[in-house]
Amino acid sequence: MKKKFFPSVDPRLERWLAATAVLIFLVAVIAVDYLTEEQPLHSIVLPLFYTLPLLLALLISRLMAIVVAGVGALSAALIPVLKGRFLPYAAADNAMLLVSLVSVLALYLIVGAFVRTAALRKEAEERALRLQQIFFGTVSALSNLLDARDPHTARHSHNVAGYALAIAREMDLPRAQREAIYIAGLLHDIGKIGVAEALLKKPGRLLPGEWEEVKRHPVLSYRILRDIPELQEIAIITLYHHEWWDGRGYPYGLKGEQIPLGARILCVADSFDAMISERVYKPALAPEAAIAELKRCAGSQFDPAVVEAFLRCLEKGAPMQRPEAFRFEMAFGLS
């Protein structure tokens, strides 16, 4: 990605500033030449114009500083070029001096507007950062609350979020999509607050009616999240994360690429953590057995491409990183 010279300033302001500086230089040169009865005075006007690019160079970094300073120098050099020679100091009159000073004042106003805009943007970015930290902290706290309902599922949501994030990174998804998948991992089971706790903790096999009740939780998750504008994409991921690649999942029996990619990723992450975790109704599988199950079900329950990405993550050890770290990486713009 191309690096901006001004990460905190609108690039349009940079272009406007440079163009306006050139315009002021040229207008001032022409005005000085027009308003003075004799030819422009090099010893007064030229030093004034040479100071203006230096002011801009203090504020504009890297290549832009060179460009603006160079344009300023060339514009200043037009003063003697217009008449072809330098005149003694006595040739200056009040009009020429006034125009020169007004030019300096105009550039100061431009620089002032530039600095003000940069300060306002920085303040807005800091405010957005604080809000983002509050948001992720709230989501994490809610996820902890959900996991605390059952000691057998403690940390499940955070584990799923970490696995899903690792897969999304391995598949080189854009940052915004990675964030949505990560948050969906934290909140994917929020709909279980609408399911009877006795069913979730039942040690034996669920009856058909009980199983239908449990299968409602993705829809409940969607209904809880859909009315929050910032969480609509996350709501969709949670709605479809139990759909199967071959169409035999729930709640709607979607298949293949009808299922959003984030939901397909979450399906693999959720299933893997469920398999290697002890539950009241089953013992934990060894990681090797869970991996074998993922491979066996690739193409039926799981998207084969997602399974392959997850297996690459396991080989690299990527999912073993603490998922909480990503929350702070996102908040500080490091992810």
Q: Are 237 and 260 spatial neighbours (Cβ–Cβ below 8 Å)?
A: yes
Say if residue 319 is in the same domain as residue 183: yes
Rounded distance, CA 18 to CA 138, Å? 44
Q: Let me know whether 118 and 25 are in one domain.
A: yes
Q: Using an 8 Å Cβ cutoff, are 271 and 302 in contact?
A: yes
Q: Are both 114 and 155 inside the same structural domain?
A: no
- Please report whether residue 98 resides in a domain: yes
pLDDT band (50, 70, 90) for residue 326: very low
DSSP H stretches of helix in the chain: 11-35, 42-59, 62-83, 94-147, 156-170, 175-187, 197-200, 208-214, 217-225, 232-240, 261-276, 287-297, 304-316, 324-331
Q: Is the same domain home to 184 and 121? A: no
Query: Residue 172 CB: number of other CB atoms within 10 A?
Result: 8
Residues 275 and 228 in one domain: yes
Domain residue limits at 73: 11-125
Residues 92 and 238 in one domain: no
Residues 105 and 176 in one domain: no
Residues 154 and 267 reside in one and the same domain: yes
Same structural domain, 118 and 258: no
Cα 232-237-242 angle, rounded to 5 deg: 145
Say yes or no: 157 and 299 in one domain. Answer: yes
For residue 170, give the CATH number of its domain.
1.10.3210.10
pLDDT of residue 294: 97
Based on the fold, state whether residues 118 and 153 are members of the same structural domain. Answer: no
End-to-end CA distance of the chain: 14
User: How many independent structural domains does the chain possess?
Assistant: 2
Q: Is position 289 within any domain?
A: yes
19 assigned to some structural domain: yes
User: In this structure, are 108 and 211 located in the same domain?
Assistant: no
- For residue 279, give the DSSP letter: B
Domain presence at residue 138? no
What are the pLDDT digits (tens) for 248-287? 999 999 999 999 999 999 999 999 999 998 888 889 999 9
Distance CA 61, CA 313 (A): 40
Give tens-digit pLDDT for 56-99.
545 554 445 455 555 554 554 444 444 444 444 444 444 554 55
Is residue 334 a contact partner of residue 187, using CB atoms and an 8 Å limit?
no
Which structure tokens are listed for 1? 């990605």
**pLDDT over 90 for what percent of the chain?**
34
The predicted model gives 312-318 an average pLDDT of 83
CB-facing half-sphere around the CA of 283: CA atoms within 13 A: 4
Buried b (16+ CB within 10 A) or exposed e, 243-254: bbbeeebbeeeb
